């Protein structure tokens, strides 16, 4: 059957929704699409000096949590032809400083809560900081007309998560943004009747593109949380408020623990039914262990849809909406995304179980690393493929991510092993709640497989020998970790991703 999907730009879509439909709600107030359009257009005008038609790619930072202000400011910056630089409000000052100066930010917006910290940082860099209060704008849209930014205009500058090295500024254009949104609207059947909670950090594609922009492009309703608030979320779920849900694996882990701890009462049943009632629940941004897929299905009946993407490309692979979803895999390329696996000789690999680096091409692929032409050049092949740095295999039509080539592919005794594969097996052990597998230099093995594990609070004493025996029963001998280290919790970034270089530093001897 031919798809009826119409490609349209993000702003065209936004302009078309019925004004009275609710766009955003924060639990106390609502903003409908007519109000949102007025507010962000007004905000765009306030960014321009009289006579100015466009910000011409000026970088403007947002030091704001998810909320009305954040949304209005983001859309307003885009509408005025600026580049939005959303920063993590919970990040240490030195990292905010790094981002502000690297991106050449000229203005920044914050709120009262984050004003004090932002003030001193911006003052040090000579960047004017303004309080963002878009709630009370009651002026009508002025007659002044400003042009919409074209598809090649830069829109967004996001910093990579820096789990493997120093964060780089990833620049995406309005054309990229439209492509990244459209592919998800089509693949995941977004609709104006959808209602989605948004509790993800707002300096990352997951929250910005997959949730905020897709929902606004679809004319759907977003319930905004300033941060992850499980009681408020569960209340909304129990009331069957939401149709769609997107989270990182660590959020599912937290919710599984909470559901495990709940007594079998009416409230617990209503929460599980509320999750079961949604039309789609998605996991991504890090590998979702099979044990999490299984536990989630047991509690809610939902089969999670896992997808794969990154800051530079938005989303690239997704399990199907209609067909079977396979835990531990990330499905097939999304509409409009070209993808291949490439070996170390730069040749495309075909057939099942042959590992290769994921290379991606398409209108979703970013423009450049900000002011870093060398890094941009190094990351593209001569014929324009973006080299992701992730290794995958194909298994009966579904891609399986083996991990980042720089940290997750461990070369031990002449074999290459995937850290993600070993982690997924270790998490099947009843006493292990978290784990990270890394390679550490070793005289005998070149690299030795080391597993850092966090044990269940109620777990008794677990000897390394017993663990190794258990591992041998479920993985090939060369994959069994040579060393085990225990921690109370693993170091993670704001997206819940384990920062493996920190572990490697800690345990390399
Ligand atoms: P970021 O740019 O912060 O979104 O990080 C992107 C990286 O996260 C990718 O390059 C992958 O290494 C990893 N990633 C994203 N989704 C998945 C997934 N479903 N499974 C495994 N790794 C993933």
pLDDT tens-digit map of 461-472? 889 999 999 999
Provide the residue range defining the domain that includes 480: 409-507
For 112-129, what is the mean pLDDT?
88
Instruction: With a cut of 50, say whether residue 150 has pLDDT above it.
Output: yes
pLDDT given for residue 139 in this prediction: 47
pLDDT given for residue 436 in this prediction: 97
| Percentage of the chain lying above the pLDDT 70 cut | 96
Question: Is there a domain that residue 163 lies in?
Answer: yes
Average pLDDT score over the chain? 93
How far apart are the CA of 456 and the centre of ligand 1, in A? 26
Instruction: With a cut of 80, say whether residue 5 has pLDDT above it.
Output: no
For 88-115, what is the mean pLDDT?
91
Instruction: With a cut of 60, say whether residue 115 has pLDDT above it.
Output: yes
CATH number at residue 455: 3.30.300.30
Question: Is there a domain that residue 374 lies in?
Answer: no
Question: Is there a domain that residue 206 lies in?
Answer: no
| 472-476 long-range Cβ contacts below 8 angstroms, 24+ apart | 474/425, 474/428, 475/422, 475/425
- Computed on alpha carbons and rounded to an integer, the radius of gyration of the chain in Å comes to 23
Among 196, 191, 223, CA closest to 24:
223
Instruction: With a cut of 80, say whether residue 74 has pLDDT above it.
Output: yes
Ligand 1, pocket-test mutation among 281, 401, 423, most atoms within 8 A of CB: 401
Instruction: With a cut of 80, say whether residue 86 has pLDDT above it.
Output: yes
Which of 112, 147, 173 terminates a domain? The answer is 173
Question: Is there a domain that residue 82 lies in?
Answer: yes
| Minimum mean pLDDT range among 79-88, 341-350, 424-433, 455-464 | 455-464
Instruction: With a cut of 60, say whether residue 363 has pLDDT above it.
Output: yes
> How many whole angstroms separate alpha carbon 319 and alpha carbon 459?
35
How far apart are the CA of 404 and the centre of ligand 1, in A? 8
Residue nearest ligand 1's atom 3 by CA: 161
How far apart are the CA of 33 and the centre of ligand 1, in A? 32
What tokens were used for 499? 């920062």
DSSP per position, 295-346: HHHHHH---PEEEEEETTTEEEEE--SSS---TT--BEEPTT-EEEEE-TTS
What tokens were used for 478? 């060369």
Question: 39 vs 44, 78, 254, 501, CA distance in Å?
Answer: 9, 13, 36, 43
Question: Is there a domain that residue 38 lies in?
Answer: yes
Ligand 1, pocket-test mutation among 158, 171, 248, 286, most atoms within 8 A of CB: 286
Are the C-beta atoms of 63 and 108 separated by less than 8 Å? Answer: yes
| Minimum mean pLDDT range among 131-140, 168-177, 208-217 | 131-140
Question: Is there a domain that residue 399 lies in?
Answer: no
Q: What is the dihedral of CA 54, 56, 61, 66, to 10 degrees?
A: 50
DSSP per position, 63-104: E--SSHHHHHHHHHHHHTT-EEEE--TTS-HHHHHHHHHHTT
> How many whole angstroms separate alpha carbon 479 and alpha carbon 422?
7
* Overall number of domains in the chain: 2
Which of 173, 190, 209 terminates a domain? The answer is 173
pLDDT given for residue 195 in this prediction: 98
Instruction: With a cut of 70, say whether residue 380 has pLDDT above it.
Output: yes
pLDDT given for residue 1 in this prediction: 47
Q: Does residue 479 come out as left (phi exceeding 0), alpha (psi in the -120 to 50 range) or beta?
A: alpha
What tokens were used for 387? 């080299």
Strand, helix or coil for residue 499: coil
Atom of ligand 1 nearest to the CA of 403: 12
For 361-365, what is the mean pLDDT?
98
The β-bridge relationship of strands 154-159 and 129-131 is unpaired
pLDDT given for residue 162 in this prediction: 65
Are the C-beta atoms of 212 and 407 separated by less than 8 Å? Answer: no
> How many whole angstroms separate alpha carbon 409 and alpha carbon 416?
6
Place of tokens 């002044």: 144
Instruction: Report if pTM > 0.85.
Output: yes
Instruction: With a cut of 90, say whether residue 82 has pLDDT above it.
Output: yes
Instruction: With a cut of 90, say whether residue 325 has pLDDT above it.
Output: yes
For 25-48, what is the mean pLDDT?
95
CATH number at residue 103: 3.40.50.980
Strand, helix or coil for residue 244: strand
Q: What is the 3-state secondary structure (H, E, C) of 438-453?
A: EEEEECCCEEEEEEEE
Which of 140, 173, 206 terminates a domain? The answer is 173
Question: Is there a domain that residue 366 lies in?
Answer: no
For 358-383, what is the mean pLDDT?
97
Pocket of ligand 1 (CB under 6 A): 160-161, 205, 284-287, 306, 308-311, 330, 388, 390, 401, 404, 495
Strand, helix or coil for residue 356: strand
Q: What is the number of alpha carbons within 13 Å of residue 508 lying toward its C-beta?
A: 14
């Amino acid at each position: 059957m031919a798809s009826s999907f119409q490609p349209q730009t993000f702003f065209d879509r936004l302009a078309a929704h019925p004004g009275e439909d609710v766009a955003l709600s924060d639990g106390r107030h609502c903003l409908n699409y007519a109000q949102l359009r007025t507010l962000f257009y007004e905000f765009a005008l306030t960014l321009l000096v009289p006579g100015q038609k466009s910000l011409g790619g000026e970088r403007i930072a947002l030091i704001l949590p998810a909320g009305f202000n954040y949304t209005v400011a983001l859309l307003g910056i885009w509408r005025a032809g600026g580049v939005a630089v959303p920063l993590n409000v919970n990040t240490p000052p030195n990292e905010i400083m790094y981002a502000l100066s690297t991106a050449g930010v000229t203005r920044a917006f914050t709120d009262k809560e984050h004003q004090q910290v932002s003030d001193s940082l911006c003052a040090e860099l000579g960047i004017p900081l303004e309080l963002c209060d878009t709630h009370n704008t009651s002026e009508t849209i002025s007659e002044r007309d400003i042009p919409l930014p074209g598809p090649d205009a830069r829109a967004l500058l996001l910093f990579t998560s820096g789990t493997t090295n120093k964060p780089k500024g990833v620049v995406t254009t309005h054309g990229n943004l439209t492509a990244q949104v459209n592919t998800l609207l089509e693949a995941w059947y977004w609709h104006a009747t959808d209602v989605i909670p948004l509790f993800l950090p707002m300096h990352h594609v997951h929250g910005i593109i997959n949730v905020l922009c897709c929902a606004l492009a679809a004319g759907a309703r977003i319930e905004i949380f300033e941060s992850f608030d499980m009681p408020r979320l569960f209340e909304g779920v129990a009331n069957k408020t939401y149709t769609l849900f997107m989270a990182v694996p660590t959020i599912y882990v937290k919710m599984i623990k909470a559901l495990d701890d709940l007594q079998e009462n009416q409230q617990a049943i209503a929460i599980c039914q509320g999750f079961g009632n949604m039309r789609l629940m998605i996991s991504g941004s890090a590998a979702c262990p099979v044990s999490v897929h299984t536990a989630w299905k047991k509690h809610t009946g939902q089969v999670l849809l896992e997808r794969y993407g990154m800051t530079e490309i938005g989303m690239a692979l997704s399990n199907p909406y209609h067909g079977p979803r396979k835990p531990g895999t990330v499905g097939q390329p999304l509409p409009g995304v070209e993808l291949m696996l490439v070996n170390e000789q730069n040749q495309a690999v075909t057939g099942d179980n042959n590992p290769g680096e994921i290379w991606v091409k398409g209108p979703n692929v970013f423009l450049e690393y900000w002011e870093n032409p060398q890094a941009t050049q190094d990351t593209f092949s001569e014929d324009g493929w973006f080299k992701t740095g992730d290794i995958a295999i194909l298994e009966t039509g579904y891609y399986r991510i083996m991990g980042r080539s720089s940290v997750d592919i461990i070369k031990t005794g002449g074999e290459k092993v995937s850290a993600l594969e070993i982690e997924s097996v270790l998490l099947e052990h009843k006493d292990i709640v978290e784990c990270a597998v890394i390679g550490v230099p070793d005289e005998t093995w070149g690299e030795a497989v080391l597993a850092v594990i966090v044990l269940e609070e109620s777990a008794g004493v677990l000897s390394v020998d017993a663990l190794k025996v258990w591992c041998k029963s479920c993985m090939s001998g060369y994959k069994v970790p040579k060393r085990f280290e225990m921690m109370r919790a693993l170091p993670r970034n704001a997206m819940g991703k384990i920062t493996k270089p920190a572990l490697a530093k800690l345990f390399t001897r």
